[in-house]
Amino acid sequence: MQTQRTKTASQNYVFAVQSLARSHQSVSSIKISAFVPQKLLPFYYATRFPQLSLGRSDTVLVLRFPLAHHSHQSYVVGVDNNSDEGKFEECGVEKSSSCLSSPKYIADPVVYKLVRVDGDGRFVPATDDEVMEVEDFLVDDKTEMIDVADIGKTADCTSNEGSDSGKLQLEVSEGLSHSENVEAHAEKLTSEFENIEEVSQKVKEEEGLSISCGSPDNSDACMNVDSKCADQHYESPAVEEKLQFEIPMQETVPSSTPRVNDHCNDLSESIGEFYKPPSGQAESGPSTSAVCNNSKPDFSKLEEEICLDNLSIRELHEFFRATFGRETTVKDKLWLKRRIAMGLTNSCDVATTTFTIKDNKLVNKGNEENCKNTNAAFTEDSRVEAVLVSPKNSPTNHSTQREDHKIALGERFHDNAELDCGSDDLHTEERAAKRVRKPTRRYIEELSEAETRDCSPKVHNSVKNIGCGQTSQKFCLRPIKSVSLNERIMLTRLDSLGGSGIEVPCVSRVRRSRPRKNIKALMKFHPSSLGMAAEVVKVLAVPSSLANSECTDKVSKSRSASETTEPLLTSEAVKDKQSSATGKVQVGKNLGLKHTDSSEDTSDDNTATVRTAKGGMRRKHHRAWTLVEVMKLVEGVSKCGAGRWSEIKRLSFASYSYRTSVDLKDKWRNLLKASLAQTPPDEGMNSRKHASVPIPAPILLRVRELAEMHSQVPPNLGSNMGGVGGRSMHETRSGYL
DNA sequence: TTTAGGG
DNA sequence: CCCTAAA
């Protein structure tokens, strides 16, 4: 029972430390050396959590942040207490089920409590030491001081969307001290929940449907989750003044029988199940649908329960595309899932075993087997992140420092979430899994790209890099025999790494899936376009890598222009082509840019601008926004504020040369619109075959929050917009990627 | 040049 | 996305 203080700071933290170790009765010490990067918080999930349940790590810090910047979220940080060295491992973040946080809520005082959960899943008062440690940690991180209390759980549920009436806020456990009667507290909780229920009902009646979460039962869902927790917490075990603990956001199974038992297995299992979803959080194929359909309004589901496991390859491809903006032909589900998960989590923390485990229910087994490996990698990652992030973690901090850091160390690390650091694992995995399959060119490219990104982040780790390089080399070189390709490889690599100085061979990604028509156009005389494409590239390829990629772009550009749009350009296009073929000089001049650009173009499909007859530059294709980009944008806005597009462009989209500040602005506008639309993208669209993947609700929530902070939300809309028939009409597809 | 908005 | 006025 430590002191309990309430805080009015804009940042509120409610956290609990959970010990998963069955044997450990107490946590000797909690040392948190690093924290989840603020910027990643919203999209960072406890993908590695499963490992922790194995007993290797016996403590987990669960943080709930009802912040302005992040809708209520719980962050789970794994603390490895194992006698080993009290080494700490940063784990992931779990997003709690939460409704939108409203401004008001943010301002409310919050009580911080530190609780440890023992192996049985019961809350145990944190020791002074623990508290101290954590406090220090938090302080160090520049986060607001936190207050700690012994026991207690804070349950809060806000449904702001509901407008005035809709807003539900529940704060429990205030002033609950260890010695106090738990039951009393429980009662309080209960009543609170009841209130919530009432309110939610009311809201429902008034608005007819869902509010913030978009599902009709949304508020209910929220309540259910919490209430369930409450029940569990206060019911049986409560007797010992210990609260039974269950992960805050569980699968929303309505009936959910008490899952938490005294058996560790059960606990871990449930945890595993619980956490698995997080990895795929942002997008939930099925779950989203469910939500939209109002069938299963689960909060948790909506926000974090995205089960990639059950998706078909096709669906996974869809998600992949939505996430990274490019197609993939990889058939390996595991690979796909990992990739997507990594992209969404913006980290490489995705446990290799996570998916598999869940799928097969071999949770424990799988975990144990892979635990070690993962952990090893894990630790390293943590360190890296710590380095990058440690400077500043304060959410509101505009810390230029951190940004500098980021830039210095390699923006790709965090930014290119689509990539991951676990290239090694990946390859190993791949190789092992599909030995038989002869890698196709495309496949190789995929890998290469992944590697490129994967490796770059770890630039500081020489060993790893080397490893990556080798690996990639193998893959790249084997199948590709043409010299020109090799050349490209080197070039690409260098470019992408930017001045890192690390040379990693890689195949530049020349779009292959959709043969460039332009080439055809260019080669008017050569009907056979496909084969030609490669040839052309080679031909055009000039000693200078830049020229090479650029040429390609150029060509495609002109080509498309001529073909699709302006006839006038045809001649021009041809001209271009010719010029490029013969003297690339011109092209180079036009394109002569910085490396980043070239690398960008190379690594992604080239975005080109087409010269219009009018003299304007027009973009060739709609470059679909990927989840990663959206996330970066949101993050950028949170850091720089809406309106400072050029800043955001520089900071967060430095590597995305094709996104202009105007693009960012436009996208933000769309996101805002989408977030304001009370109802999540309709199912109709969704069902539509490969339509697009809806933007994950959490992200939209964030957008909305940010918008509110920046007063971008029209007052009128803010209050009652959510209404029943409210949405509709045009919200066209703002809610999609 | 960068923003904000309309188209 | 494009285009443009305004800053």
- Distance, CA of A546 to C1' of B5, in Å: 36
Q: What SS3 class is residue A727?
A: coil
> Which residues does strand C reach (CB under 7 angstroms)?
A 607, 609, 612, 614, 616-619, 621-623, 625, 658, 662-663, 666
- Position with higher pLDDT, A465 vs A642: A642
pLDDT at A443 over 60: no
Q: pLDDT band at residue A332, thresholds of 50, 70 and 90?
A: confident
SS (H, E, C) A198-228: HHHHHHHHHHCCCCCCCCCCHHHHHHHHHHH
| Residue A111 bridge partners (DSSP) | A6
Going by the DSSP 8-state scheme, the letter that residue A82 receives in this structure is S
Exposure of A488 in the CB half-sphere (CA atoms within 13 A):
31
Q: Are A148 and A15 in contact (CB under 8 A)?
A: no
Distance CA A126, CA A714 (A): 44
Contacts of residue A641, Cβ cutoff 8 Å, sequence gap at least 6:
A710
Measuring from the CA of residue A646 to each C1' atom, give the nucleotide at the shortest distance.
Answer: B2
Q: Are A586 and A580 in contact (CB under 8 A)?
A: yes
Q: pLDDT band at residue A306, thresholds of 50, 70 and 90?
A: low
CB neighbours of residue A493 within 10 Å? 28
Q: What SS3 class is residue A6?
A: strand
Mean pLDDT, rounded, for A389-408: 33
Instruction: Average the pLDDT over each of A3-7, A339-343, A370-374 and give the range with the smallest value.
Output: A3-7
Q: Distance from first CA to last CA of chain A, Å, rounded? A: 48
Cα Rg, chain A, nearest whole Å: 26
pLDDT at A607 over 50: no
SS (H, E, C) A429-443: HHHHHCCCCCCCHHH
pLDDT in tens, A555-591: 333 333 333 333 333 333 333 333 333 333 333 333 3
Q: pLDDT band at residue A552, thresholds of 50, 70 and 90?
A: very low
pLDDT at A370 over 50: no
The CATH-assigned architecture of domain A627-718 is Orthogonal Bundle (1.10)
Q: Where are the domains of chain A?
A: 6-251+262-405, 419-500, 517-619, 627-718
What pLDDT, on a 0 to 100 scale, did the predictor assign at position A129?
57
- Distance, CA of A9 to C1' of B2, in Å: 34
- For A579-622, the DSSP string reads HHHH-THHHHHHH---HHHHHHHHHSPPP-EEE-TTS-EEESS-
Distance CA A297, CA A300 (A): 9
Q: pLDDT band at residue A56, thresholds of 50, 70 and 90?
A: very low
What pLDDT, on a 0 to 100 scale, did the predictor assign at position A665?
92
Helices (H) and strands (E) in chain A, counts: 31, 10
- Distance, CA of A245 to C1' of B5, in Å: 51
Q: pLDDT band at residue A723, thresholds of 50, 70 and 90?
A: very low
Would you state the structure tokens that stand for residue A227, as one six-digit string?
A: 């209430």
Q: Are A110 and A14 in contact (CB under 8 A)?
A: yes
- Position with higher pLDDT, A416 vs A635: A635
> Which residues does strand B reach (CB under 7 angstroms)?
A 642-647, 661-662, 665-666
Judging by beta carbons within 10 Å of its beta carbon (0-12, 13-18, 19+), is residue A448 exposed, middle or buried? buried
Contacts of residue A75, Cβ cutoff 8 Å, sequence gap at least 6:
A36, A41, A44, A61, A62, A63, A64, A65, A93, A94
Nucleotides of B under 7 A from a protein CB: 1-7
Residue A517's nearest CA partner among A621, A626, A446 is: A621
- Distance, CA of A663 to C1' of C1, in Å: 8
